A and B are shown apart, each in its own frame.
Chain A
């Protein structure tokens, strides 16, 4: 499931820092690396992992390539949880609005 890949990818603290950097806006490998105590090749690797997890996407911008957060990356997890809670709340609604039942009768 894609959402587990996403969660797993974010579990690495350095990778989280790379991801966090992209929250400020699209950036190239060099720009990400300059703000972190991490080499360019390492940043490239982390970006690759984030891309595989669907969290980050890249596009050419002139001569360079910039990376940005893919807003759908955690969509899988969200859709899943959305559905989970929706079903639960529907069920709750039905129960809480049930007319008060008369005293319970014993089933024959």
Chain B
């Protein structure tokens, strides 16, 4: 079947009082200073968030239990302008290194006059997550995932895990 379903990307933007260079630097190199600790994907809470600043570099989070969770890898790296990462997280919000099922996040930094920058974020290719979710369903590997989803939903809305 050649049909391709594309699920419309999620687009978000924010205008910040900073140059594109600074915004890029804070977004990437400074990610540990702002990435919400609640936005973790590992089994244990995030201790730190790190983006390695080169193509092929990882976005990963050392966790409090000593493990590391990989969010994705850098695909395009243009400092001060944009970067693209694979988002290697499954539909149930767990790390999934099978890159063929990864969605993708692009962040662009566009000068917006008077020292401002519009940061445009696009999260796309969700249909690939669907393929993985379907495969997992079929193979019946993980019967417990609806419960995990509940947990993620709670975490995403800011509730603290006991």
Contacts and interface: CB of A to CB of B under 8 A. Distances in A.
Contacts, number: 117
B131 A92 contact: no
B130 A7 contact: yes
A20 B3 contact: yes
Interface in A2-31: 3-4, 6-14, 16-17, 19-21
Name A's interface SS: helix
B156 A97 contact: no
Interface of A: 1, 3-4, 6-14, 16-17, 19-21, 74, 77-78, 80-97
B12 A96 contact: no
B4 A20 contact: yes
B26 A82 contact: no
Closest 6 CB pairs of A and B: A11-B134, A95-B34, A20-B3, A7-B130, A17-B3, A13-B1
A30 B30 CA distance: 56
A81 B133 contact: no
B91 A95 contact: no
